[in-house]
Amino acid sequence: MGIVRPTKVMKLGSNEKVDEAVFLWFKQARLSGAPVSGPLLCEKAMRLSQIIADSDTSRFSASSGWLKRFCKRFAIRGLTLNGEKLSSDSAAAADFASSFQKFIEDEGLSLHQVFNCDESALYFRLLPQKTLAGAFEKSASGWKKSKERVTILACSNASGSMKLPILVIGKTEKPRCFRGINTDSLPTLYCGKRNAWMTREIFGNWFNRCFVPSVKEALEQMGIEQKAVLIVDNCSAHPGVEELTSADGKIVTKFLPPNVTAILQPMDQGVLVQVKKKYQRKIFRNLLLQDEQEEGFLVRKFLSTINVKTVIELIAQAWDEVTPETLRKSWRKILFVPREDGPGDDTVHHDDLAADELVALLTGNSFNLGLPDIQEWLDSCVNEPGHEILTDEEICEKVKATVNPADDSEAEPDSEEETDLPCSVSHSRAMSMFDECLTWLQQQPEATSYTTAVLRDLRELEKNRHAQAD
């Protein structure tokens, strides 16, 4: 009779809620680059246990034994009682880059099959402070910076050959500006969450319903095996590896170590910065255009016209303007990417002419801005994370609460859907506008047979709809 060997099973802590809260805090701290020592972790555990204040935690003690067991349960390495810091960023980055390069070679993946995505907050109504009062306004007393925010998620491959549509997360599931609009015609993906932050549920749905099918379709069209890897950072808004693997196991996810995200993650190497700066420039151009066309124009009036639909259209344009070469350059700290533009800097340039161009646009305009003012505004929100940063109290509430998904995704009163609203533009007016647009386009040097054909097709669609209505 053979010998029966005992099976190793991970032993849960006697204070599971405290452990979960401490680990959530730990991940958040490491993602921000903060060093975490053993004594600090024990002190934080005591603080969180007091907030949770359950009967299970009444006798909790953050002893050296608890710390060792906690680190073992959550695979935390390099954390000791003498306050030693975790591995340095540079060493961890080099280790991951080396191991990931080997993984790519062992799996036989090309640059077309290697992807990265990241989310970031976008304050979509934030304008330069000094543009908030034109020459015709005596003051802008009582004006506050706009904190209205959406979260955007961008994803592309290492070759720059594939950019997935931007995902925009707003605060309402069905914004008023979507009424009467076929949302399938929007140039980006959209979903709503009350706080507009990325969550595990949203990210998991995006991975399974958008990323996997889009990648498989693109690789099939290229004649490449439908096999890929996605690199993401290890934040609390991302599900585990098991949930981020395709059903056939051919599309997998690799997590960056927490302390190397800013160093290695391709989207953090200037790509998202470019997208957001391009968006800011488009918003400011629109503001200047309105100022020229309307006498007595007020900034407040302009800001009221910026809604989620506007953001979606402009952020999609900004994403389209990011070049394949920019995307390829963003991978050079983690992979060997062949140069296609000759020798040069490996970093992604943040469009250095952006501020100068905007200052030139201000010449002769009522807004009095200089280069430092514009540059400060362009740099105002380039490093905003797309996931929520929780306080100690919020962490404890998160581990204590039983989340009801239906309540969390409930549409706000502002978002009631009305699918039967009549179109606000008449058929005759639409036909007239298409004719005018076609006349304008044909007189532009940038006009091509393709762009004019698209406009003619749209005009033909309107003709058919008009005939059906009659």
Secondary structure of 102-162 as H, E, C letters:
HHHHHHCCCHHHEEEEEEEEEECCCCCHHHCCCCCCCCCCCCCCCCCEEEEEEEEECCCCC
Whether 102 and 81 map to the same domain: the answer is: no
Whether 297 and 267 map to the same domain: the answer is: yes
Within a domain: 414: no
pLDDT of residue 1: 43
User: Does residue 132 contact residue 375 with C-beta atoms inside 8 Å?
Assistant: no
For residues 309 and 423, give the distance between their C-alpha atoms in angstroms, rounded to a whole number.
Answer: 16
pLDDT of residue 426: 78
Query: Cβ neighbours of residue 10 under 8 Å, at least 6 residues apart?
Result: 73
pLDDT of residue 381: 59
Within a domain: 18: yes
Residue 261 tokens read as: 């995200």
Whether 142 and 192 map to the same domain: the answer is: yes
Whether 142 and 263 map to the same domain: the answer is: yes
Residue 439 tokens read as: 């006349």
For residues 398 and 392, give the distance between their C-alpha atoms in angstroms, rounded to a whole number.
Answer: 10
Whether 64 and 189 map to the same domain: the answer is: no
For residues 101 and 426, give the distance between their C-alpha atoms in angstroms, rounded to a whole number.
Answer: 58
Whether 130 and 21 map to the same domain: the answer is: no
pLDDT values of the chain reduced to their tens digit, one per residue, 470 residues: 444 444 444 444 457 888 888 888 887 776 666 677 788 888 888 888 888 865 454 567 788 888 888 888 887 766 444 444 444 467 888 889 999 999 999 999 999 999 999 999 998 887 665 544 444 445 544 445 667 889 999 999 999 999 999 999 999 988 989 888 888 889 999 999 888 989 999 999 999 999 999 999 999 999 999 999 999 998 878 998 999 999 999 999 999 987 788 888 999 888 998 999 899 888 878 877 766 555 555 666 777 888 999 999 999 999 999 999 999 999 998 987 776 654 444 444 444 445 555 555 555 455 555 556 656 655 665 566 656 667 788 788 778 764 334 444 444 444 434 444 456 677 778 878 888 887 888 788 887 877 777 777 787 787 777 667 76
- Dihedral Cα 38, 39, 42, 46, nearest 10 deg: -160
Phi, psi torsion values for 358, nearest 5 degrees: -70, -35
Kindly state the DSSP code that residue 163 receives in the 8-state scheme.
B
pLDDT of residue 45: 86
Whether 238 and 317 map to the same domain: the answer is: yes
> Residue 464 CA to chain centroid, in angstroms?
40
Within a domain: 268: yes
Look up the domain containing 240 and give its range: 93-378
Tokens 């280790």 sit on residue: 95
Whether 109 and 25 map to the same domain: the answer is: no
Whether 348 and 438 map to the same domain: the answer is: no
Within a domain: 1: no
Whether 357 and 450 map to the same domain: the answer is: no
pLDDT of residue 83: 42
Total domains present in the chain: 3
Whether 76 and 117 map to the same domain: the answer is: no
User: Does residue 354 contact residue 277 with C-beta atoms inside 8 Å?
Assistant: yes
Within a domain: 219: yes
